């Protein structure tokens, strides 16, 4: 677990997502009250709680747990965090509230998407009582001391994806809206997962973000980035690269997911992040194939 100072009111806690540093963070945002943005998976929760303790934040001081979307690496730890943070409400898009109240279908879907190698690293999902769940699409939280968080719709990666403006810094908690930026592991690409990925919405979201003049993005995978134009441009380019690979493979016949993933994201077979690279590149190729086949059939 690593503490990453971000701003005078924002701190990132690297919670060892999938057992690897440099892959995922939760953001602590503090005004007069406090919010956690992104939960990681259930195995990350002890690291997040240890980070809060190191920062001198007591469990009862967290009033809000905010998720960008329902995927387990962003919301899977919400139930265990809610149990440990007794005053906190949990915010997520209203279409996904049911999956945090009853996570059985969510877990089955994630297992199919990430594959057995990575699934073992995801843990389980603890159901959250419905009375502690809140719809987030119109969220505007005033935490005090000029710290205000506001939701913005950023679909594509998933239909329920929301990002959150930090009005004090002007920065945006961006989740997976434009992709991941894992400098420690040299991994930079948008993730396009089955079963609900939508290329048209993803393109629109990236274009909208590029038009916003955002000074800083707070990426869940991984950390704050001030080179926003570079990161969004690279996300656009890598997305179109994936589209080209998949379209060419579909034109040639039945595409081989593993072969396309290896072309899209060449990565060594060993090293701490190899499992992440293999799982997320295969998931992205499979998601894009599914999307393009549906478009062709339509």
- pLDDT beyond 90 at 275: no
- Delimit the domains of the chain by residue range: 2-297
**151-163 pLDDT tens trace:** 999 999 999 999 9
Model pTM score: 0.94
CB-based contacts of 92, cutoff 8 Å, min separation 6? 66, 67, 69, 70, 75, 78, 100, 133, 134, 135, 136, 160, 162
Enter the CATH code of domain 2-297: 3.60.15.10
Of 117-121, 125-129, 160-164, 174-178, the least confident: 117-121
CA 274/CA 231 separation, integer angstroms: 22
Cβ contact 243:199 at 8 Å: yes
Strands, sheet with 217-219, edge to edge from the N-terminal-most edge strand: 140-144, 147-153, 162-166, 172-175, 217-219, 223-225
**11-38 pLDDT tens trace:** 999 999 999 999 999 999 999 999 999 9
Omega prior to 222 cis, within 30 of 0: yes
């Amino acid at each position: 677990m690593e503490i990453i100072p971000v701003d005078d009111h924002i701190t990132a806690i690297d919670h060892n997502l999938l057992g690897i540093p440099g892959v995922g963070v939760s953001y602590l945002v503090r005004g007069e009250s406090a919010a956690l943005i992104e939960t990681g998976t259930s195995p990350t929760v002890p690291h997040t709680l240890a980070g809060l303790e190191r920062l001198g934040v007591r469990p009862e001081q967290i009033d809000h747990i905010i998720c960008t979307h329902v995927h387990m690496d962003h919301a899977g730890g919400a139930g265990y965090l809610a149990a440990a943070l007794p005053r906190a409400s949990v915010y997520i898009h209203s279409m996904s509230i049911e999956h945090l109240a009853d996570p059985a279908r969510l877990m089955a879907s994630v297992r199919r998407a990430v594959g057995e190698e990575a699934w073992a690293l995801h843990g389980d999902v603890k159901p959250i009582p419905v009375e502690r769940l809140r719809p987030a699409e119109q969220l505007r939280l005033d935490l005090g001391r000029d710290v205000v968080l506001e939701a913005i719709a950023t679909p594509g990666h998933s239909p329920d994806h929301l990002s959150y403006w930090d009005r004090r810094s002007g920065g945006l908690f961006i989740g997976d809206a434009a992709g991941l930026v894992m400098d420690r592991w040299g991994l930079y690409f948008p993730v396009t997962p089955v079963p609900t990925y939508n290329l048209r919405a993803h393109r629109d979201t990236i274009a909208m973000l590029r038009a916003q003049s955002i000074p800083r993005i707070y990426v869940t995978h991984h950390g704050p980035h001030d080179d926003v134009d570079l990161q969004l441009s690279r996300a656009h380019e890598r997305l179109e690269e994936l589209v080209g690979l998949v379209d060419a493979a579909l034109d040639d016949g039945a595409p081989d997911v593993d072969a396309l993933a290896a072309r899209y994201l060449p990565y060594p077979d060993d090293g701490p992040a190899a499992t992440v690279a293999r799982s997320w590149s295969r998931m992205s190729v499979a998601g894009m194939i599914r999307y393009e086949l549906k478009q062709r059939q339509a």
